[in-house]
Structure formats: C-alpha cells, structure tokens
Amino acid sequence: MFWLISFFTLGSVLGSFANVCIWRLPRKESIAWPPSHCPHCQGKLRPQHLLPLISWLALRGKCAMCKGTISIRYPAVELATALLFAAIGYRWQLSITSLQYCTLSLAFIISVATDISHREVPDEVSLGSAAILAVVAIVTAQWGHLLGGILLFSILFLIAVASRGGMGGGDIKLALAIGLGLGWKLALVSLALAIVVGGVLATALLLRGNRGKALPFAPFLAAGTWITMFCGEKLVEFYFSIVLRL
C-alpha cells in the first residue's frame, strides 16, 4: 500500500508537469517560464491552485480569478499518470524497472497528447527520455536494453525509408526510448502489438470509408508498450508454447 500511495502521488505531480509540456512544447514555449497561469486571463496561479486533481475539483473546473472553464484534460492527464505510476509502483516497487517504466509512461502521456493534437512528438520528450534510459542501461550494464534501442530505432527508420515518409521522425525517436526501456525482446513484442492494434483500427476506418486519413502512431506505440510492460513475459511464453507444439 505504501508504494501504491507513493507512486500515485508522484504520478499526479508529474502528470501536472506533463500538462505543461503538452500545452507549451508544440507551441515552442519554455516549460520553465513564465510560471503556470490561466490560459484565459493569464493570471498567475497560486500554490493552492496547483494541487494535482484536488485544485480542479475544488474549483469545479473553473479559474479562481476569471471563472473561465479549465479543460477536463488537466485532471484526466494527472489521473492517468497517477494510475500508471501506481500500477508500476505496486508491481515493481522501488527498482530500476520502475524507473524505466515510469520514464516511458511519462513520455507516452505527453507524446500521445501532442501527437493527437498537433501530429508531433516533441524531441524534448522522445530524446530526453531516451537519454535518461540510455544512462540507466549503461550504469546498470543492461546491454540488452541498449541493443533494444538500436534495434527498434533501426526497424522504424527502415519502415520510414521504405514507405517514403510513412513513419514520422518523432515515432522513430520514441521507438529508441522504448527499446532502451524494455530491452530487445520485450521491445519487439511492444512493436508487434502496436502494429496489430494500429492495423485493426486503420482497417476499421477504411471499412467506414475514411480513406487517406493518417493516424498518429504514438498512441499505438504507447498502447503496445503498456500491454508489454504488464503482460509481455506471459505473451512471449504463450507464443513459444504454441511454436513448440507445431
């Protein structure tokens, strides 16, 4: 229970930071300055207005100064990040794996939102998380994770070349972080899941007549990775159990 509460709290705080990145990075604004402010009246938010989840609920989704509506996206991002961190902390507690998975999860929360809203995965997020995960892999001698980063980056780069731009540069850099965070074996599982989930949705859209509409790939990379974090080893065991029976 201690780890559940601790990671939930940490996730909610970092979810608040994620909201800043989601709003500012696509607009090429600094995430450090100016301080947090209301998007309507530009009034500077006070400490009591910055409490993750609590402030939005206490103010009923309104700015304390101008009473302008504050998007439900803010508490939704904070809650999603908090729940992901809580699940990771409950499963792996204080460990290198928790550090790697929380780093990836925070990067995904930001990347999914910006990819959907602006068709962009900020380099500050993809390369920043990749740098952190590379350092962790080197310090802990997780050479399979370094191989995973190289492998996934190379695969998506080749897909981008073969499709002549069908894969965005942001997705390729995000794949680098995924490989560094999961290791080569689980990274391949996450990529396969992302392609399957993305393919199913793309097929459904085609059947409904939505042709020529490009889908952001970061949400599928995130979904594939989150499934792999919690179920990847079992999926690998299940796959090989079927192969060995053939």
Q: What does the pLDDT look like over 48-64, one tens digit per residue? A: 767 788 888 877 778 76
> pLDDT of 1-13, one tens digit each?
788 899 999 999 9
**Taking 80 as the threshold, does the pLDDT of residue 46 lie above it?**
no
Ordered DSSP codes for 68-112: PBPPTHHHHHHHHHHHHHHHHHHHH-SSHHHHHHHHHHHHHHHHH
Give the per-residue pLDDT at 8. Answer: 96
194 and 89 in a single domain? The answer is no
Provide the pLDDT for residue 66.
Answer: 76
Residues 199-239: tens digit of each pLDDT? 777 777 667 766 656 678 899 999 999 999 999 888 877 76
For the entire predicted model, the pTM comes to 0.91
Q: How far apart are CA 41 and CA 234, in angstroms?
A: 51
Residue 63 lies in a domain: yes
Q: Measured between alpha carbons, how far apart are the two ends of the chain, in Å?
A: 44
Q: Is residue 114 part of a domain?
A: no
191 and 241 co-located in one domain: yes
Report the percentage of the chain scoring pLDDT > 70: 89
What total of structural domains would you count in the chain?
2
160 with 56, same domain: the answer is no
The answer to whether residues 138 and 218 belong to one domain is yes
Q: How far apart are alpha carbons 30 and 12 in whole angstroms?
A: 21
pLDDT at position 40 is 64
Residue 107 inside a domain? The answer is: no
How do residues 92-104 score in pLDDT, each as one tens digit? 999 999 999 999 9
In this structure, are 127 and 235 located in the same domain? yes
Is pLDDT of 115 > 70?
A: yes
If pLDDT is split at 50, 70 and 90, which confidence band does 111 have? very high
Whether residue 4 is contained in a domain is answered as yes
Band of pLDDT at residue 197, cut at 50, 70 and 90: confident
Same domain, 8 and 46: yes
Average pLDDT, the chain: 87
pLDDT band at residue 71 under the 50/70/90 scheme? confident
Q: Is residue 112 included in any domain, yes or no?
A: no
- 165 and 200, same domain (yes or no): yes
Owning domain of residue 88: 1-94
Nearest 5°: the CA angle 209, 212, 215 is: 100
Q: Are 135 and 187 found together in one domain?
A: yes
Would 99 be classed as within a structural domain?
A: no
Domain assignment present for 205: yes
The tens digit of pLDDT for each residue in 133-170 reads: 999 999 999 999 999 999 999 999 998 888 776 677 88
Please indicate, yes or no, if residue 53 is contained in any of the structural domains. Answer: yes
Beta bridge partners of residue 69, listed in sequence order: 62
Task: Find out whether 187 and 154 touch, Cβ atoms under 8 Å.
Answer: no
